[in-house]
Each structure stands twice: as structure tokens, then as C-alpha cells.
């Protein structure tokens, strides 16, 4: 009889721990079923000449553990994560108890533990505040493996022998960022359009992303540019299709973001101007993309803007003289008004990539500046350039916008990377001039620094998709 008392105490304790909102009748049915099960074990033990006390004591410990665990979980985890109907039985009484859902979730949590920890930390972390650390792991795509890189960015193909510029990763001070997972990013982009809009630095980033995503696709023939082109510098629009994911990665050339224009001067000759009050005409083609990454900056120089003389136009008025900073501010306000008035932020996510640092020594692009033989990043922040005024202007404009804009602030992080530019490797050795060759200390070798920009873009999209 002692064993029956033990079993009775088990059932009483179990019923006390049942705190989920089942009806009283269902609870009684469950308890009755468990009591019958206990009797079955008891009779089995008796028939097998085993001690019923041992059997009931073992059962007691198991039932008490289960009931206590269920009660504690039910206080903070949705009930249906633990109570599920057995799909193999037509059981409508609500008594079927299964841990399948809980086990599956535990397996998922274990698999994604590191990734969840990383993305969780990022919600309160400045991912642009950090340092470059050397990493021996391979770049996300091998040098020379991607056919969609401009020759001018393809330093490996053009004879650059050192590989350090490909092996530095960005480490934020207060968190970790995940390595770009091409398959997962393509899943996020499935059925979507992602558009880069801006100058050749955004083309640099666009090609980096195309190559990174292409690397994760098994059948690479199903990744192609819609026009069939294999050069990507002369046209204003390019689009790569990833057929298996029904998504496109596009580039719209718009170096100022506002409209380049032509008017007749006093002699009747055609003269180029820049309409500070009109968004670039290509906006009608990208306004409804799912993700847009804008940039501008490198063309806002005296050389590109006729030193501000008779170049900047608003309405019918051409300014006889206007400073570049003021013109840049006006253009950004035009862009901001257009975004606020034309972008549906429920559909489209807007990014703006900040100014990417150049590293010319002894001059600029057209005056003998060079960055040859740089093989390591700057490590001392006191050697970095002052923060560009143009980025302060951009940040001020973004703060005033109604549309949420994710600011990819790569300015400081790129300032460390004097080693990452093509320099003389913008051309193959046979095409370089013996003297006076223009070096490229603005764009970046691929693989290289823009891969990290896309890693940060991926991080932002990953967090957003999980929220």
C-alpha cells in the first residue's frame, strides 16, 4: 500500500504544478490517464517480481521533475511552444504532451547561439568605431575568380603581388560583426531589387557585392548582367540578375545625385551646368527598389565643378560663383526632399554610404599624387586626416529627414587603409607609362576594403530581417 500512497502524492504534486489554462475537466482526464499509467507500471513491476517501491520512486522523480519544469517555463515562454498535438493521432482532448517543439527550438538556439549573440550585441554597438586586424582567413571571393571586376580595380590581375590588403578585417570596439554569408544575404534579397546610386566608388562597392554573392551560387551561369555587357564604366545603368533568387543588384551612375545639365551660353555654344534643384533623371527607375544605397562626394571638387564659376544652376539662374560646400549642401537638400517625397519607407530601405578616404601623397589625382608601395594600414589615429566637412554637412541633412536613412559611416575606417588602393596597379604592367603615370589612390582593390562595406551592409540587413 505504501507504493499507492507514493503514487497518490505524485499525482497531487503534479496537479498543483499544472498552472496553464486548461479546463478543469481536461485536467482531471490528464490526471486520470497518468494515474492509469502509473498503475500499469506498478502491475508490470509486480508481475516481473520487481519491487513496486523502486518503480514508483523512479516514476515519482521523473514526474516531479517534468511538472516543475513545465510550470517554470510556462511563466515566460508561450505555452504552445511546449504543448503540441501529436500529428500522428486524432486526439482532441488536449492531453497529448510532446516536447518536439521545445527540442527543435533548443537545437536551433544551439546552432545559432554565436550568431544570435553577435546580432544581439549589435543593437547597441557603433559598428563603425573600431580597428583593422590582420586575419589569415581567405577573402570572401578569391582574387582573379570574379569576371565582373573592372580592370582598374583588379589589382591581382594587374600584377600586385602582396596580399595583405585583402586580409584585414574590421573589428568594432564593442561587438563582433558576422562574416558576410552570401547564401543568407541572397535569401534576404530574394525577390527584391537592390540599387547602388552614385559615383565610381559606389560602382566599386556594387562590383564587390556582386562578386561576394556570386561566390555562394553553385551554377554561376545563372548570374549575369541583363545587357550582356562585360565592361561596367561607360553606361549609366547596369543590373546583375541572380536567377535562382529572382533578385537584382543594380548600379545607377549619378555622381552628384542631382541632374547634370546643358544650356546655351551667350555665344550660343552648349555649356554644361549642374542643376542643384533637380534630382538626377535616373531616379524614376530606382525609386521603387527595395534597398537603395546612395553616395556622393568625390566629384565635389574644384576640378570637377569648374571651380564653381558659371556652373551651378537653380531654375534658370546660373550662379556666376558659388562655393563647392554651399552647392553640395543645396544638392543634398534636393536629394533629401526627393527621398522624403517619393520613397515609401514601408517598402524601401534607404542607406547612404559616407565619404571614402583618399591617400594621395605629393599631389592629387591629376598633379602627381601617389600611394605606391603602401602595404600596411595606418595604425596611429593621430596620422589620420581631419574629418571631412562634407560629412558634417551630410549628417546634418540626414538628421532633418523624415525618411529613416541608415548611414554607412565608412569615412574614418577607410582613412586607416592607405594600403588598399590600386595605385600603379590600376593598369597591367605593359600599359603603364614609364613616367608621369596617374595613380589611383581613391578607389579600392577588389577583393579589398569595399568587401567590408558590404559586410556592414549585410550586418544591417541581417539585424533588420531578424527584427
pLDDT digit string (tens) for 370-426?
Answer: 899 999 999 999 999 999 999 999 999 999 999 999 999 999 999 999 999 999 999
End position of a domain, from candidates 52, 77, 111: 111
The region of weakest confidence among 41-55, 66-80, 268-282, 422-436 is: 66-80
HEC per residue, the chain: CHHHHHHHHHHHHHHHHCCCCCCHHHHHHHHHHHHHHHHHHHHHHHHCCCCHHHHHHHHHHHHHHHHHHHHHHHCCCCHHHCCCCCCCCCCCCCCCCCCHHHHHHHHHHHHCHHHHHHHHHHCCCCCCCEEEEECCCCCCCCCCCCCCCCHHHCCCCCCCCCCHHHCEEEEECCCCCCCCCHHHHHHHCCCCEEEEEECHHHHHHHHHHHHHHHHCCCCHHHEEECCCCCCCCCCCEEEEEEHHHCEEEEEEECCCCEEEEEEECCCCCEEEEEEEEEECCCHHHHCCCCEEEECCCCCCCCCCCHHHECCEEECCEECCECCHHHHHHHHHHHHHHHHHHHCCCCCCEEEEECCCCCCCECCCCCCCCECCCCCCCCCCHHHCCCCCHHHHHHHHHHHCCCCCEEEECCHHHHHCCCCCCCEHHHCCHHHCCCCCCCCECCCCCCCCHHHHHHHHHHHHHHHHHHC
Active site residue 200: yes
Are residue 157 and residue 205 in the same domain, yes or no? Answer: yes
Tell me the C-alpha distance between 345 and 403, whole Å.
6
Burial code of 41-79, b = ≥16 C-beta within 10 A, e = fewer? bbeebeeeeeebeebbeebbeebeeebeebeeebeeeee
Q: What mean pLDDT is predicted for residues 23-29?
A: 45
Query: pLDDT: is 68 or 204 the higher one?
Result: 204
In a domain, 351, yes or no: yes
Active site residue 356: no
End position of a domain, from candidates 81, 111, 141: 111
In a domain, 445, yes or no: yes
Structural domain total, the chain: 2
CATH no. for residue 388?
A: 3.40.50.1110
Mean of per-residue pLDDT scores for the chain: 79
84: domain range? Answer: 2-111
Q: What mean pLDDT is predicted for residues 83-110?
A: 33
Tell me the C-alpha distance between 352 and 195, whole Å.
12
Proportion of the chain above pLDDT 70, given as a percent: 72
Are residue 13 and residue 73 in the same domain, yes or no? Answer: yes
Catalytic residue (one of 199, 415, 440, 451): 440
Are residue 80 and residue 201 in the same domain, yes or no? Answer: no
Are residue 141 and residue 84 in the same domain, yes or no? Answer: no
Are residue 135 and residue 107 in the same domain, yes or no? Answer: no
Are residue 266 and residue 312 in the same domain, yes or no? Answer: yes
Are residue 146 and residue 103 in the same domain, yes or no? Answer: no
> Residue length, the chain?
467
Question: Does position 171 have pLDDT exceeding 70, yes or no?
Answer: yes
Query: pLDDT: is 103 or 169 the higher one?
Result: 169
Query: pLDDT: is 60 or 177 the higher one?
Result: 177
Question: Does position 111 have pLDDT exceeding 50, yes or no?
Answer: no
In a domain, 118, yes or no: no
In a domain, 125, yes or no: no
Are residue 36 and residue 154 in the same domain, yes or no? Answer: no
Given pLDDT bands bounded at 50, 70 and 90, which one contains residue 270?
Answer: confident
In a domain, 320, yes or no: yes
Are residue 264 and residue 137 in the same domain, yes or no? Answer: yes
Q: What mean pLDDT is predicted for residues 444-459?
A: 98
Are residue 105 and residue 173 in the same domain, yes or no? Answer: no
Catalytic residue (one of 200, 208, 254, 358): 200
pLDDT in tens, 278-295: 999 999 999 999 999 999
Residue 467's pLDDT is: 64
The region of weakest confidence among 3-7, 165-169, 182-186, 437-441 is: 3-7
pLDDT in tens, 71-86: 222 222 222 222 222 3
pLDDT in tens, 210-269: 999 999 999 999 999 999 988 888 899 999 999 999 999 999 999 999 999 988 777 777
End position of a domain, from candidates 111, 146, 176: 111
Are residue 93 and residue 230 in the same domain, yes or no? Answer: no
Active site residue 440: yes
In a domain, 116, yes or no: no
In a domain, 352, yes or no: yes
Tell me the C-alpha distance between 15 and 10, whole Å.
9
Are residue 138 and residue 267 in the same domain, yes or no? Answer: yes
Residue 37's pLDDT is: 55
In a domain, 214, yes or no: yes
Question: Does position 22 have pLDDT exceeding 60, yes or no?
Answer: no
pTM value? Answer: 0.74
Amino acid at each position: 500500500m505504501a507504493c499507492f500512497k507514493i503514487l497518490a502524492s505524485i499525482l497531487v504534486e503534479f496537479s498543483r504544478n499544472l498552472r496553464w489554462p486548461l479546463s478543469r475537466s481536461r485536467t482531471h482526464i490528464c490526471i486520470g490517464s497518468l494515474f492509469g499509467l502509473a498503475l500499469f507500471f506498478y502491475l508490470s513491476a509486480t508481475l516481473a517480481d520487481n519491487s513496486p517501491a523502486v518503480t514508483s520512486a523512479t516514476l515519482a522523480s521523473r514526474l516531479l521533475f517534468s511538472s516543475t519544469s513545465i510550470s517554470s517555463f510556462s511563466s515566460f515562454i508561450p505555452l504552445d511552444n511546449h504543448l503540441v498535438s501529436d500529428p500522428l493521432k486524432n486526439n482532441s482532448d488536449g492531453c497529448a504532451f510532446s516536447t518536439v517543439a521545445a527540442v527543435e527550438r533548443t537545437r536551433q538556439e544551439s546552432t545559432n547561439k554565436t550568431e544570435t549573440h553577435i546580432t544581439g550585441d549589435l543593437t547597441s554597438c557603433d559598428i563603425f568605431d573600431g580597428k583593422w586586424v590582420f586575419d589569415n582567413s581567405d577573402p570572401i571571393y578569391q582574387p582573379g575568380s570574379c569576371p565582373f571586376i573592372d580592370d582598374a580595380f583588379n589589382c591581382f590581375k594587374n600584377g600586385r603581388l602582396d596580399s595583405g590588403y585583402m586580409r584585414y578585417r574590421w573589428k568594432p570596439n564593442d561587438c563582433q560583426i558576422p562574416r558576410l554569408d552570401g547564401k543568407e544575404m541572397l535569401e534576404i534579397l530574394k525577390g527584391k531589387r537592390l540599387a547602388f546610386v552614385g559615383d565610381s566608388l559606389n560602382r566599386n562597392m556594387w562590383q564587390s557585392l556582386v562578386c561576394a554573392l556570386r561566390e555562394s551560387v553553385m551554377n554561376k551561369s545563372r548570374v549575369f548582367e541583363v545587357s550582356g555587357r562585360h565592361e561596367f564604366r561607360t553606361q549609366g545603368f547596369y543590373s546583375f540578375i541572380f536567377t535562382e533568387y529572382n533578385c537584382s543588384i543594380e548600379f545607377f551612375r549619378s555622381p552628384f545625385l542631382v541632374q547634370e545639365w546643358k544650356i546655351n551660353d551667350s555665344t550660343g555654344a552648349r555649356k554644361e551646368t549642374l542643376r542643384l534643384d533637380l534630382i538626377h533623371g535616373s531616379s524614376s527607375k530606382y525609386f521603387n527598389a527595395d534597398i537603395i544605397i546612395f553616395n556622393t562626394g568625390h566629384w565635389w571638387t574644384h576640378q570637377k565643378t569648374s571651380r564653381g564659376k558659371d556652373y551651378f544652376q537653380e531654375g534658370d539662374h546660373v550662379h556666376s560663383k558659388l562655393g563647392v560646400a554651399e552647392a553640395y549642401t543645396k544638392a543634398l537638400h534636393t536629394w533629401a526632399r526627393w527621398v522624403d517625397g517619393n520613397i515609401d519607407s514601408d517598402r524601401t530601405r534607404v542607406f547612404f554610404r559616407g565619404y571614402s578616404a583618399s591617400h594621395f601623397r605629393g599631389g592629387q589625382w591629376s598633379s602627381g599624387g601617389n600611394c605606391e608601395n603602401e602595404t600596411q594600414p595606418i595604425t596611429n589615429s593621430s596620422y589620420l586626416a581631419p574629418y571631412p566637412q562634407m560629412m558634417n554637412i551630410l549628417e546634418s541633412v540626414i538628421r532633418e529627414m523624415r525618411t529613416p536613412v541608415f548611414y554607412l559611416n565608412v569615412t574614418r575606417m577607410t582613412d586607416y587603409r592607405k594600403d588598399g588602393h590600386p595605385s600603379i596597379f590600376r593598369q597591367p604592367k605593359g600599359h603603364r607609362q614609364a613616367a608621369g603615370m596617374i595613380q589611383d589612390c581613391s578607389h579600392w582593390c577588389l577583393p579589398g576594403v569595399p568587401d567590408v562595406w558590404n559586410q556592414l551592409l549585410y550586418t544591417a540587413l541581417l539585424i533588420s530581417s531578424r527584427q
